[in-house]
């Protein structure tokens, strides 16, 4: 049973993150009611089927079908629960800040439901927002629509997740830290007990004012992207230095506790729904208040240059227009079908636009890729088919199944390995080039 004095929780927004949160809450013993505007998702969840792709989620939903239900109605759902988690999109606007359009809708509905509720209720926003949003936007909406006072009649917390798609469930169960921005001590303590129930690794819980938690969220992601871009800069330098090997360099400097090995691997640039936009938002926030974020701005510039850098390496290997290029991997990282800001997808797109005959394959992201690439490339039916039909194979996203490919498929072909992913068998039978490692003279 839950350790917190909370037994019934509602989750508003059942997308990739919201549904994982709802399922992990149910797994922890809470009775969970999900609110989702998409009726097809509601129907799937109530049948015990996950409507979104995330490893381990299907099993979690099936195992907790009695504790996890979904509806499209706020009415009666919020008021019948003790706490509400809001996990709705906060897309970037033209300035680089986060739009609060969906947060506004959700909080207005929640406020109206709280108006007639007699007992205390905890509202938790997990969606990433700009500093100042909780005090300047979210709290006023809830107080206005409910007619109640935050900190007295209801509690409000900001509790962003630090997770990666493809590893969401483990990330929620075993986070490095839990970050809580709180309206008052009672709200923060209640959320701490909920998180203590969910998490299996007893992580440190950092509680603070809203503004500090809001800034901590985007600054952490901005710092991580800086490490990625630094590693990619090292990779480019290593390629141009005789004997250079980025893996040896990053392994050495990563052993220094001031640096650490995480996210320090020269390869393709970062993508996905969080890292690019959080880094831009961090720079935007600094500019807005008259501060400087030169590191964030430089990180963004370095990241944008990585696609052309990889394309340039491919162009140095392939002959145009005769050579056929196969791109393995299109999602922004393994174990997800998300192609948002995927550099692998951009590489395939640029090569197709450059006049090459491009064939692509991804274990999970083909449908999403088709919406972006259209008929500019050919879509292979399998990884094997993609390799067979290509003169140059670009390993763009390191899906584990690509390592299981028979090395004989690569015999006589050129290979550009963006992640130093393939083993000696592939390297020995192909004309092999690796990002981050200098080619020996005459190779």
Pairing verdict, β 154-158 and 178-182: antiparallel
Q: Per DSSP, which regions of 8-97 are E strands? A: 8-12, 31-35, 68-71, 83-86
For 69, phi and psi rounded to 5 degrees? -130, 160
Q: Which one-letter DSSP state was computed for residue 410?
A: G
Which residues lie below 8 Å from residue 258, measured CB to CB, with a gap of 6+? none
Pairing verdict, β 31-35 and 178-182: unpaired
| Exposed/middle/buried for residue 441 (C-beta within 10 Å: 0-12, 13-18, 19+) | exposed
Report how far residue 257's alpha carbon sits from residue 71's, in angstroms, rounded to the nearest whole number.
48
* Joined tokens for residue 172: 């929620």
Distance of alpha carbon 170 from the chain centroid: 13
Q: In Å, how far are 49, 57, 265, 370, 435 from 310, measured between CA atoms?
A: 39, 34, 15, 21, 8
Helices 366-373/343-353 angle, 10° precision: 40
Report how far residue 234's alpha carbon sits from residue 395's, in angstroms, rounded to the nearest whole number.
19
Q: Considering 150, 274, 386, 418, which one is annotated as catalytic?
A: 274
On the question of a cis peptide bond just before residue 23, with omega within 30 degrees of 0, the verdict is no
Q: What is the length of the chain?
A: 443
Distance of alpha carbon 264 from the chain centroid: 17
Q: What angle do CA 282, 284, 286 make, to 5 degrees?
A: 70
Sign of the alpha-carbon dihedral angle for 256, 259, 260, 263: negative
Look-up of token digits 């299109």: 330
Tell me, yes or no, if 274 is annotated catalytic: yes
Q: Which residues does the annotation mark as catalytic?
A: 274
């Amino acid at each position: 049973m839950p350790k917190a004095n909370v037994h019934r929780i509602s989750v508003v927004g059942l997308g990739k993150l919201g549904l994982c949160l709802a399922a992990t809450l149910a797994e922890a013993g809470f009775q969970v009611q999900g609110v989702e505007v998409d009726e097809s998702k509601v129907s799937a969840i109530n049948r015990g089927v996950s409507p979104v792709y995330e490893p381990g989620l299907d099993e979690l939903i099936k195992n907790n079908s009695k504790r996890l239900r979904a509806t499209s109605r706020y009415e009666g759902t919020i008021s019948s629960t003790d706490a509400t988690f809001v996990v709705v999109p906060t897309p970037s606007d033209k300035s680089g800040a986060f739009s609060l359009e969906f947060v506004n809708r959700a909080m207005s509905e929640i406020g109206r439901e709280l108006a007639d509720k007699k007992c205390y209720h905890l509202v938790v926003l997990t969606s990433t927002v700009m500093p100042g949003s909780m005090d300047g936007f979210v709290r006023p909406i809830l107080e206005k629509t409910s007619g109640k006072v935050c900190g007295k009649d209801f509690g409000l917390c900001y509790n962003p997740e630090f997770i990666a798609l493809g590893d969401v469930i483990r990330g929620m169960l075993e986070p490095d830290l839990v970050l809580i921005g709180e309206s008052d001590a009672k709200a923060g303590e209640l959320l701490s007990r909920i998180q203590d129930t969910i998490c299996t690794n007893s992580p440190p819980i950092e509680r603070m004012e809203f503004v500090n938690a809001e800034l901590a969220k985007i600054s952490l992601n901005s710092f991580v992207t800086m490490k990625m871009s630094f590693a990619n800069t090292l990779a480019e330098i290593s390629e141009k230095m005789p004997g250079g090997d980025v893996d040896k360099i990053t392994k050495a400097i990563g052993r220094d506790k001031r640096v650490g090995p995480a996210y320090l691997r020269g390869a393709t640039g970062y993508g996905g729904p969080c890292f690019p936009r959080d880094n831009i938002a961090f720079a935007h926030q600094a500019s807005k208040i008259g501060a400087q974020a030169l590191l964030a701005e430089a990180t963004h510039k370095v990241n944008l240059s990585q696609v052309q850098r990889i394309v340039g390496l491919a162009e140095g290997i392939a002959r145009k227009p005769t050579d056929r290029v196969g791109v393995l991997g299109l999602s922004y990282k393994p174990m997800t079908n998300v192609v948002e800001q995927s550099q692998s997808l951009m590489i395939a797109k640029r090569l197709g636009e450059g006049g090459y005959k491009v064939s692509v394959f991804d274990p999970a992201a083909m449908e999403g890729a088709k919406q972006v690439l259209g008929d500019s490339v050919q879509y292979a039916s399998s990884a094997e088919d993609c390799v067979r039909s290509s003169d140059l194979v670009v390993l763009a996203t390191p899906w584990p199944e690509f390592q299981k490919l028979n090395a004989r498929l690569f015999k006589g072909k050129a290979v550009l390995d963006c992640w130093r992913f393939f083993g000696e068998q592939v390297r020995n039978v192909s004309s092999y080039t690796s990002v981050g490692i200098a080619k020996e003279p005459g190779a």
